[in-house]
Amino acid sequence: MQLSIPDMIVHSGPMGRFVLLTLLFFSLVSWSVIFMKFRLFRRVKRERKKFLKMFWSSGSLKAAYSSARDFPYGPEASVFIAGFYELRKFPRFRNQGVKGSAAQPLDMLMAAMDYLKRAVR
């Protein structure tokens, strides 16, 4: 007696059919997740290339910052936005220092670098 796969499914009991349907369901869910991730990674790669091209061709950091918001899936754009946000805080922070201190410029520069490092992490 030779049984094929369709014959085994037809002759299986209710528990066997339930298990097969469950496996089929989770297989379809897994493949849909794989397909969605593939599309997401392809979009990230595309936006990454576009952002880097725009970044290196922009004339200023402000122009790059205003254009970076057009790339919500680009990881470099997100890091740049966070870093530029912290960099914009620096002039306000520098003006709050005590006048006449010789170590002030170096201290302020180090504090700004700490802000940038934290933003990039």
Q: What integer best gives the mean pLDDT of the chain? A: 82
Residue 93, pLDDT score: 46
Q: Specify the higher pLDDT residue, 117 or 32.
A: 32
The tens digit of pLDDT for each residue in 2-18 reads 788 888 888 889 999 99
Structure tokens given for 39: 């599309």
- Which ranges constitute the DSSP H helices of 1-121? 5-10, 14-57, 61-68, 75-94, 104-120
Confidence of residue 38 (pLDDT cuts 50, 70, 90): very high
Question: Which pLDDT score, from 0 to 100, does residue 22 have?
Answer: 97
Burial tier of 68 (Cβ tally within 10 Å: 0-12, 13-18, 19+): buried
Closest by alpha carbon to 73, among 99, 52, 45? 45
